[in-house]
Structure 1
Amino acid sequence: MSARPTRGAIGRGTDFDSHDFSRPSRHSRPRTKERPDYSDAPSGRVIGVDRGRYRVLLEGREYTHELTATKSRRIGRKGVIVGDVVRLTGDTSGRKDTLGRIVEVEPRRTVLNRTADDTDPTERPIVANADQLMMVASLADPPARPGMIDRVLVAGYVAAVAPIICLTKSDLTDPAPITELYEPLGVPIVICEPGSDLSELKSMLASKVTVLVGHSGVGKSTLINRLVPDAERRTGHVNDVTGKGRQTSTSVVALRLPALEGRIADPGWVIDTPGVRSFGLSNVSPEAILAGFTDLAEFVADCPRGCNHHAGAPECGLDAALAGGELSPERLVSFRRILDAVDRPAYENG
């Protein structure tokens, strides 16, 4: 008579590491906390995610190729996002119909997060290990929205990612009202239109990982297609009635930039993200919001102790700067709109 399989035995044909499922019997010694060492496993950069499958660029001394991978159960609920540097086992050849397995995620240098809106407590990581955050806004069709630009800048400062503002469609309207609003921040501003020279922008992106964020219809995909000619990102149009663009990019994807003439170093990466209608900051502190508005810092230095900087706050330096003509009403309104949204209890309690 054949022996029965022990309780908790794992069936054959599973695609998991055996040590991830070592379940001792009731009378065996307790399981140790020793974990497998994957330091010698090949590593790669996650450049795309699609329904539980991860596209990874594997780079080594003697090879560079893409492969498809799944997430190992040992990672648990920890998400794997575009930009992550990961360790892999399994079939890492990249051949058709093969799968590698992501078994480890390297510590992230930076993480860009957002929430669905200012009432959503769930923070969603968008991109890992980015160096720069480029807010793409069109000057017309649809017009630039300073409130959205401010939110993305705040998110960039919180994530310790250097911000850039890119204004498209400058052939349709004068960019001066927007540039004058943001020049005091010292944030690089790039202005472009169809067919314009992108050499300045390419130099800013060289050797960096830059994530692009913006509303649908602002020309983000068109810009990426010019920066990476073989990207073939779909472009859309703006609805004449609503003034809103149709989302054409449906997933986050990392694209390597072409090498610049005369440069040997890594040409850099751009990460395209789907167009967004809103950019929630529910988990961002009021102090972080103020840090994002660097042009306001000098005006709050003399605020009374405990000033929350909301409208109606007694002797707030922001109101004094506004009355003295040192601060534009648009900047103050934008700052307080974000502050009110994420700091509602303080606002309501005065």
Structure 2
Amino acid sequence: MTFMNTPVEFTARVVESFGRRAIVRTADGERLPAELFGKRLSIVCGDEVNVRMPRPVAAAAGDEPRIVSVQPRRTLLQRTDSRGRNEPLASNLTLLAIVVAPEPPTDPYMVDRYLAGAAYAHIDGAIVVNKSDLDSSSTLGEAVEEYRRAGYPVLTVSALNSHAIDDLRAFLKGKTTMFAGQSGVGKSTLTNALIPDLERQTRTLSDSTGEGRHTTVSTALFRMPGGGELIDSPGVRDFAPALVSDAVVQRGWPEIVAAAPQCRFANCLHLREPGCAVIAGIDAGTLSARRYESYKRLLNIMRDLAPDYERRK
């Protein structure tokens, strides 16, 4: 591999990372393997980084370009593990699109946590239903209607329907989107439908490392035709957003945020406080009782994990 036409130091985008190595995309679209320089440096897919080329002699000996620093991230999506540690997933996103389908059965509480995590990171959220003939009376159909009422964009698509794919592509144009959701809901199928040259882009990534790409364990960024970028991520069985304070948890529920100004107390957490407009909305049926239960569950998760988090600060 030669780097004759590449500047000594340049800015690039991380399109895939694994351990201490990554694939970066230069401004002219070339993909290069790179390694991290410095033990404290960490990167995630989507990062914009500064890369330094090896000297000619070192390059001839097989040395790779080095990532020497990460530029400030506009957004950072994170999740929390069982010990309360924050794990970065992807950076510089503008949209988190949660893909759901009738099969496998969707856990709406996990979808709620994805949407909350996006909100905490100042990333827009949307629902993509990978089944155009969804029965609105089904459990998933009812959950989808809850998201619509809460104000989230909902797109119903099928990888076999070219018009629906075109509509989805138009919605994603100009955005940096990450597909998230359980394994088996069709994220990879939708990604292939949205990006006709995905196989070529994937092959280029594999060629850059000399290894096959394992889509089930790595996160990778691809360009979409017509504009926009798509981050394809592994499926997960569970998700909890990065730790936030009690007062911030409610920001992941736009319908609660909208009702909160009517509460008697400005610091209302919408649990048992008198004069709570959210509880009144639940009792009146104008707010989703299931979504409210989901809010309380996440609040409890954050409180359970907070002591471990505080001890490590």
Distance 2:10 2:305 in 1: 49
Residue 308 of structure 1 aligns to which amino acid in structure 2? L
Q: Give the paired residue count.
A: 280
Aligned-pair RMSD on alpha carbons? 2.9
Matching residue within 307, 327, 332 for 2:268: 307
Q: CA deviation at 1:302?
A: 3.6
2:35 is paired with a residue whose SS is: strand
The DSSP-based 3-state class of the residue aligned with 1:184 is: helix
Match in the other structure for 1:205:
172
Kindly report which structure 2 residues correspond to 1:91-240, keeping only aligned pairs within 5 A, or say none.
91=54, 99-117=64-82, 120-138=83-101, 140-171=102-133, 173-174=135-136, 176-196=141-161, 197-232=164-199
Partner amino acid for 2:156?
Answer: I
C-alpha distance after superposition, 1:264-318 (max 9, x if no partner):
xxx11100111111112351223222112111234333434353323x4444332
Residues 69, 223 of structure 1: CA spacing in aligned structure 2 closer, same or farther, 3 A cutoff? same
Amino acid at match of 1:290: Q
1:144 maps to a residue whose letter is T
More helix by share: 2
Would you say the 8 A contact 2:99–2:185 is kept in 1?
Answer: yes
- 1:46 aligns to 2:14 (yes or no): yes
Report the equivalent of 1:316. Answer: 276
1:19 counterpart residue number: none
Unmatched runs of 5 consecutive residues or more in structure 1: 1-38, 235-246, 261-266
**Normalised by the size of structure 2, how large is the TM-score?**
0.80
Is 2:39 aligned against 1:79?
Answer: no
Bigger radius of gyration: 1
> Residues 118-170 of structure 1, C-alpha deviation per residue, up to 9 Å, x if partnerless?
xx2210111111111111111x1112222111111111111111111111134
TM-score, length-normalised on structure 1? 0.72
Q: Name the SS of the counterpart of 2:217 in structure 1.
A: coil
Counterpart Cα distance in 2 of 1:345 and 1:228: 39
Q: Is the 8 A contact 1:72 1:102 kept in 2?
A: yes
Q: CA separation in 1, counterparts of 2:175 and 2:76?
A: 15
Closer, same or farther: CA 298–68 of 1 in aligned 2, 3 Å: closer
Match of 2:29 in 1: 64
Deviation at 1:320, TM superposition (A): 1.8
Structure 1 stretches of 4+ with a deviation exceeding 6 A read 92-96
**What is the CA-CA distance between 1:41 and the residue it aligns to?**
2.3
Bigger RCO of structures 1 and 2 (CA < 8 A, at least 6 apart): 2
Per-residue deviation, 1:231: 2.5
Cα deviations by residue, 1:173-217 (Å, 9 ceiling, x for unpaired): 446413320112322111112412211111121122111111111
Structure 2 residue runs without a partner (length 5+)? 1-6, 203-213, 307-313
- Structure 1 vs Structure 2: percent identity of aligned residues? 32
State the 1:82 CA deviation.
0.9
SS at match of 2:190: helix
Q: Is the 8 A contact 2:34 2:65 kept in 1?
A: yes
Is the 2:16–2:220 Cα contact (8 Å) retained in structure 1? yes
What are the Cα deviations for residues 19-43 of structure 1, in whole angstroms up to 9, with x where unaligned?
Answer: xxxxxxxxxxxxxxxxxxxx98211
Give the conservation status (yes or no) of the 8 Å contact 2:9–2:53: no
